[in-house]
Amino acid sequence: MSGPVAVVTGAGQGIGLATARRLSGAGYRTVLVGRDRAKLDEAAAEIGGATLCVEADLTVPAQVEGLFDTVEATWGWAEVLVANAGTSLAAPITQTTDAQWQQMIDSNLTAPFRCIRRALPPMLEARRGRIVVIASVVAKRGERLVSAYTASKHGVLGLVRAVADEVARHGVTANAVCPGYVDTPMTDATVAAIADRMGTSTDEARAVLERRQPIHRLVRPDEVAAAVLSCVQNGAINGQGINVDGGAVQS
């Protein structure tokens, strides 16, 4: 097996799976990372090609280290890191607990930070590398009922911008892709929560999210993956938060 190595976290479904599929098609040996080994194995079978499945909880520091140790022992250093794994939470600010707040920060900000910190040294030594974090359009705006999630995504966009400025002269780039509402299992959970809160059907709740985007539909995971691949293939894109939201946030 040959070709550069790409690590994709949260690769068992949704945006992560679509991104891994794109990278594999572009010739990368693709490392699929997630908490559910069965989903990873299914994803690997679907993608084909050179894939390596690593089960890991990235909120646990030792498991971040173990992930990259495994990749380097198996295939060598990772030229690409796509930090996609994360979670969401909807609750009024007055009902958001400390534990829920910490969960958002741990999953959506601290875990990508640890992955970036661990992935960077060999990239810097080789003077080439690509880091892409999946953020959200709420990294650029406030939105009701998702204060903790919004704060974590604002934080990770700031992290990406700081890293981009620090490493660009060493041949490494860092970018964020900022989707709107994407047709993924995580959005399904959001739809269910909206339906429960509003006392409506899931179809009606999904329509609410669709209408929030000018294209009046959910974004497809492969549309987000295409933006990720452009960041990987174009070394002049650096320090950006690229919106993939049908025009909801124009920046």
pLDDT, tens digit, 9 for 90 and up, residues 143-153: 888 999 999 99
pLDDT, tens digit, 9 for 90 and up, residues 83-114: 999 999 888 999 999 999 999 999 999 999 99
- pLDDT score at 43: 97
Same domain, 123 and 190: no
149 is catalytic: yes
Q: Report which of 133, 28, 111 is spatially closest to residue 63, judged by C-alpha positions.
A: 111
| Domain tally, the chain | 2
Same domain, 165 and 191: no
The span from the CA of 200 to the CA of 194, in Å, is 8
The span from the CA of 69 to the CA of 160, in Å, is 23
Same domain, 137 and 40: yes
Judge contact between 96 and 148, C-beta under 8 A.
yes
Same domain, 41 and 84: yes
Query: In which element (H, E) is residue 130 found?
Result: strand 129-134
Looking at per-residue pLDDT, the higher value among 22 and 194 belongs to 22
The span from the CA of 204 to the CA of 209, in Å, is 9
Judge contact between 244 and 251, C-beta under 8 A.
no
> Above 90 in pLDDT, residue 192?
no
Same domain, 187 and 127: no
| Contact partners, residue 120, CB within 8 Å, separation at least 6 | 129, 131, 163, 167, 172
Same domain, 170 and 212: no
3-state secondary structure of 122: helix
Same domain, 99 and 214: no
Structural domain contains residue 247: no
Structural domain contains residue 173: yes
**CA–CA–CA angle 243, 245, 249 (5° rounding):** 70
3-state secondary structure of 99: helix
Structural domain contains residue 249: no
The span from the CA of 177 to the CA of 240, in Å, is 8
- The residue annotated as part of the active site, out of 23, 149, 187, 240, is 149
pLDDT, tens digit, 9 for 90 and up, residues 218-236: 999 999 999 999 999 999 9
pLDDT, tens digit, 9 for 90 and up, residues 120-133: 999 999 999 999 99
3-state secondary structure of 85: coil
Q: Please, what is the average pLDDT of the chain? A: 95
Q: Give the rounded percent of residues in the chain with a pLDDT score beyond 70.
A: 100
Structural domain contains residue 245: no
Same domain, 190 and 164: no
Structural domain contains residue 81: yes
3-state secondary structure of 29: strand
- Please list the alpha-helical segments (H only) found in 142-250: 147-167, 185-198, 202-211, 221-233
Same domain, 189 and 172: no
Global pTM reads 0.94
Structural domain contains residue 99: yes
**Pairing mode of beta strands 241-244, 172-179:** parallel
CATH code for the domain of 156: 3.40.50.720
The span from the CA of 21 to the CA of 49, in Å, is 10
Structural domain contains residue 229: yes
Same domain, 225 and 214: no
Residue 116 domain boundaries = 5-180+220-239
Structural domain contains residue 251: no
> Above 70 in pLDDT, residue 1?
no
Same domain, 213 and 92: no
Same domain, 27 and 119: yes
The span from the CA of 150 to the CA of 136, in Å, is 8
